[in-house]
Structures are given as structure tokens and as C-alpha cells.
């Protein structure tokens, strides 16, 4: 395993952690699984305004949001009513190798960025297990990821995330602000139909 760069206390970045072959297999698996769990546009709490990113989930719990009930985790797909597909083995292995957490993740959010989709600055704070880090895997088009100190938005900085990169943020950085300012269209040919996929792994409930 290559050594990560420590971008800030609690923020570790592995460039090209997954090689091209494993990226391709993983993308094929994601689209295969998404046949049973189709991508949807979540809505903002209260207003219902659609997020530009398309989403689906793998794992026991999936992240969802709509006008009526806001941000939350659901055990079933909001449109099909089925439980979410399992988290791919490569993804679970990546968590085991890099997260340094004694229990498996429960949620794997799949974000699909196309047509200029972006993700505004936010914190991941819908989980009970805030002692577990957040792990993200980037696939496809390169993106500009903005992240900040635990509280101050003013001190945010940016890093390019490329296909195969793994980013883990936990400890003092677990509640840092972060978002995707920009996706560089056609900077990769990995994703069928183009775009970027980000997998975000989280432990939601406290283990044990
Ligand atoms: C997210 O914070 O949900 C997504 C981050 C990313 O796409 O890299
Ligand atoms: Mn997030």
C-alpha cells in the first residue's frame, strides 16, 4: 500500500490508490448494481430543490433527502422500495486497508456528477458514529475538492481529486466542511456516458 499524503490533521490522501484495472472493474460493478438501485436526484429539506448530483447507495443504509423529511439514512431505495445492493468487495477492502476503524462501513453513497453537477460546501453530520472517518473513492473525471478546517469556512483550500484516488477524513477533520467546486468534463474516459463517480463510505451507527 502506498503512503498517503497528510493534507491536514486527520485528512489523508492516496493518489491513484486503485489502479486502472481495478477502477474499470469497479465502475462496471457499480453500473451493474445500479440496475437494481437506480440513480435519483435527492431534494433539499423543506424546499425540495433537486441536488444536481445523481445518487444511489450500496450497503445496509443509504443516504437520502427530500422536502418532507430532510437528510437521513434509509434501509430501502426510495423509488423501488428494495433494500440497497451490497457494497462491492474492492470498496470494503479499501476501507479495511485505510480507514483504521474496527467495524465495517454501513453506507456507501454513490454520487454521479454529469452535466456540470457540483456539490456545495457541507459537513457530513447525519451519522451517530462520528468516531469513524469518512472515506471517499473518486472515479472518472478529475474534480476540484474544497475542504476546510473543522469550523472556519474561510480557511478552506482545494485539491484535485483524480480517478482512483482515496481520501479519508476523520478525527479532528471528521466534521470539516467540504464540497466539489468543479468537475473537469472529459478529463477521463472511464465512466460510460462520461462524468465522475464518487463513493462515500460511512459508519452510521456505533458498533456493538
Ligand atoms: C460528498 O461530500 O458527498 C462528495 C464528495 C466528492 O464527490 O468527492
Ligand atoms: Mn460529504
Q: Report, as an integer, the average pLDDT of 101-115.
A: 98
% residues pLDDT > 90 (the chain): 94
**pLDDT score at 198:** 98
- Name 181's Cβ contacts closer than 8 Å, sequence gap at least 6: 118, 144, 145, 146, 158
208 confidence band (pLDDT: 50, 70, 90): confident
The Cβ of residue 118 has, within 10 Å, a number of other Cβ atoms equal to 15
Atom of ligand 1 nearest to the CA of 161: 8
Q: What is the pLDDT of residues 19-38, one digit of tens each?
A: 999 999 999 999 999 999 99
State how far the Cα of 131 lies from the Cα of 142, in Å rounded to an integer: 29
User: Residue 97, CB half-sphere, CA atoms under 13 Å: how many?
Assistant: 15
Q: What is the pLDDT of residues 122-141, one digit of tens each?
A: 999 999 999 999 999 999 99
Q: Which ligand is nearest to the CA of 123?
A: 2
- Name 38's Cβ contacts closer than 8 Å, sequence gap at least 6: 56, 77, 79, 80
CB burial class (10 A; 0-12, 13-18, 19+) of residue 16?
middle
- Apex CA 116: angle with CA 115 and CA 118, to 5°? 125
CB 148 within 8 A of CB 173: no
- Name 89's Cβ contacts closer than 8 Å, sequence gap at least 6: none
State how far the Cα of 174 lies from the Cα of 182, in Å rounded to an integer: 22
Q: What is the pLDDT of residues 152-198, one digit of tens each?
A: 556 889 999 999 999 999 999 999 999 999 999 999 999 999 999 99
Q: Which residue has its alpha carbon closest to ligand 1 atom 3?
A: 200
The Cβ of residue 173 has, within 10 Å, a number of other Cβ atoms equal to 21
Q: Report, as an integer, the average pLDDT of 83-100.
A: 98
Q: How far is ligand 1, taken at its centre, from the CA of residue 20, in Å?
A: 21
Atom of ligand 1 nearest to the CA of 178: 2
**pLDDT score at 152:** 55
Q: How far is ligand 2, taken at its centre, from the CA of residue 25, in Å?
A: 24
**pLDDT score at 154:** 63
Q: Under CATH, which architecture does the 5-202 domain have? A: Sandwich (2.60)
Q: Please, what sign has the CA dihedral across residues 185, 118, 48, 110?
A: positive
User: What DSSP line would sit under 58-85, residue for residue?
Assistant: EES-EEE--TTT-SEEESB-TTT-PBPP
Q: Which residue has its alpha carbon closest to ligand 1 atom 7?
A: 198
More confident residue, 1 or 100: 100
Domains of the chain, residue spans: 5-202
Q: What is the pTM of this model?
A: 0.96
Query: Best of 17, 136, 159, 167 to mutate for ligand 1, by most ligand atoms within 8 A of CB?
Result: 136
User: Residue 172, CB half-sphere, CA atoms under 13 Å: how many?
Assistant: 9
**pLDDT score at 148:** 87
Q: For ligand 1, which residues put their CB under 6 angstroms from it?
A: 111, 119, 136, 145, 161, 178, 180, 198, 200
Amino acid at each position: 500500500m502506498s503512503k498517503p499524503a497528510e493534507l491536514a490533521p486527520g485528512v489523508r490522501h492516496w493518489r491513484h490508490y486503485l489502479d486502472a484495472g481495478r477502477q474499470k472493474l469497479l465502475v462496471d460493478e457499480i453500473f451493474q448494481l445500479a440496475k437494481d438501485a437506480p440513480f435519483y436526484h435527492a431534494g433539499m429539506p423543506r424546499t425540495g430543490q433537486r441536488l444536481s448530483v445523481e445518487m444511489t447507495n450500496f450497503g445496509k443504509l443509504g443516504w437520502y433527502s427530500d422536502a418532507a423529511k430532510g437528510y437521513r439514512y434509509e434501509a430501502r431505495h426510495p423509488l423501488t422500495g428494495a433494500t440497497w445492493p451490497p457494497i462491492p468487495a474492492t470498496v470494503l477492502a479499501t476501507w479495511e486497508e485505510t480507514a483504521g476503524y474496527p467495524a465495517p462501513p454501513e453506507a456507501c453513497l454513490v454520487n454521479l456528477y454529469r452535466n456540470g453537477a457540483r456539490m456545495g460546501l457541507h459537513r457530513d453530520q447525519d451519522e451517530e458514529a462520528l468516531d469513524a472517518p469518512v472515506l471517499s473513492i473518486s472515479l472518472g473525471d478529475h474534480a476540484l475538492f474544497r475542504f476546510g478546517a473543522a469550523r472556519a469556512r474561510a480557511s478552506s483550500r482545494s485539491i484535485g481529486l483524480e480517478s482512483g484516488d482515496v481520501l479519508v477524513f476523520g478525527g479532528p477533520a471528521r466534521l470539516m466542511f467540504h464540497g466539489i467546486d468543479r468537475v473537469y468534463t472529459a478529463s477521463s474516459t472511464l465512466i460510460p456516458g462520461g462524468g465522475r463517480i464518487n463513493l462515500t463510505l460511512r459508519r452510521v451507527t456505533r458498533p456493538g
